[in-house]
Amino acid sequence: MNQTRQYPGAQHVVIVGGGTAGWMAAALIARFRTPAQARVTLIESDAIGTIGVGEATVPLIQHLNSVLGLHEPDFVAATQGSFKLGIEFVDWGRVGNRHFHGFGDYGADIDGVAPHHHWLRLRREGLDAPIGAWSMAWAAAGRDRFAPPQAMKGPAAAFKHAYHFDAGLYAQLLRRHAEGKGVQRIEGRIAGVTRDGESGDVTTLVLDGDREVTGDLFVDCSGFASLLLGQALAVPFVDWSHWLPCDRAMAVGSRRAGRLTPFTRATARAAGWQWRIPLQHRTGNGMVYASSQISDDEAAATLLAGLDGEALGDPRPLRFTTGRRARFWERNVIGIGLAAGFMEPLESTSIQLIQTGLARLIELLPSGSADPAIAAEYNRQTIGEYERIRDFLIAHYALSSRDEPLWRQCRAMALPDTLAHKLATWDACARVPLYDLESHQEPSWVAILLGQERVPRGIDATADTADPQVLAKLFADRRALLARAAESMPAHDLFVERTCRALAA
């Protein structure tokens, strides 16, 4: 029999840890719960560092900033940010391959059929242009140009944008916002956790100096340490490293060199891949790799050799295991960010997972009594989102035809059933079956599948019988329209300089 109990959680919410996750939690909870409904306290220690790398995001963050009332130009300037239209993948399918996952699609359906089917039809007729040529996001990004969608018209407005920014500066911005809404910050390290002997709920956090903080609902944003969810409540970790074997990263900033590109770049290497994130004051760089295939020193050397500007220090190492906690909401603790799980940064989903986890919490958190079904539903949705992102990341590795040991291993591994079904359906008919809680819709899958030259056997029957001359004209007209629209945009660095230049580095 289900037993309801009071979640004191609506009275005093205690957030453990700062950084992007902690201060995002504080800002959002304070936004949707008045001090009379819930007092919010955040505990963090200046002595505990955060990962603090240059961060790339997805368009969903615009909604977060909007509900917090953060004006885009002010936000970009405060975080030394730039704009992002997608991700350029270099050397992934094979050495020499380049493709683009843009924030948009490839145009409207033609005769009720998605345009990639018609692109495949033209490919049979000898078309020699990537599918990305019909993406407005790439039309602009490939020319290093940017303007927001609302400044464009017609098909040229059918794209979205996200941001690159300094994660440490973003956390500071969120902190100022949250404290302005009444969030109390307590400086200190957590030395102990007290739990109720009957319910098992966390009741008190013991800080250094024998200080105590009692609470009702606890949001664990303590990073990889997972102090409450992983340690105090012993929620097990579900390890996905057999599918995603990269387990280490090196990160380093470099001086800006060349144009301020409006996209993230991910370059495949023999034992992993390298990211490049352009900010106003520097470029963020990192090497994600499998320690079984390359030493830390070799990874650092590979990273430094691939920089396009002078390194601003020594590469900082990071160890991780890709996966998630078996449950994200356990008793009166909810894990957010790295305390809940880790998905490598290949598709910039870190902040997305923080944001969606908090959105579920705010949506499901009642003002009074709560049924265990609420935590169960929170866990169901969050597990689903993690697993769909997991499949998308695995596909990047499994589709590669590169011949180094890491890539051969990924190509030969048994895939999750959900991903195997998706790829089999694609191979048969060029359609991507989507599950519940998919973060990446069909155009995103098309970008990666066709970008890595996974050409299906069959296409839609309507496209298969279409007049290739008519299709060729439609595609040529769209490509020309997008090119003219992109040429009308200002250069990305000029747009940033005019609208949201940071005042100081």
Active site residues: 84
Query: How many degrees, rounded to 5, is the angle at CA 165 between CA 319 and CA 261?
Result: 105
Residue among 373, 330, 342 nearest 193 (CA): 330
Quote the CA–CA distance of 303 and 461 in Å, as a whole number: 47
Give the H or E element holding residue 63. helix 61-68
CA dist list (Å): 277 to 35, 84, 210, 286, 320: 38, 9, 43, 9, 20
Q: Which two tokens stand for residue 150?
A: 């609302």
Q: Which amino acid is at 463?
A: A
CA distance 311 to 326: 39
Kind of pairing, strands 272-278 and 283-289? antiparallel
Q: Which residues fall within 8 angstroms of residue 115, CB to CB, at 6 or more apart?
A: 105, 106, 107, 108, 109, 134
Question: Nearest to residue 285, comparing CAs of 247, 249, 251?
Answer: 251
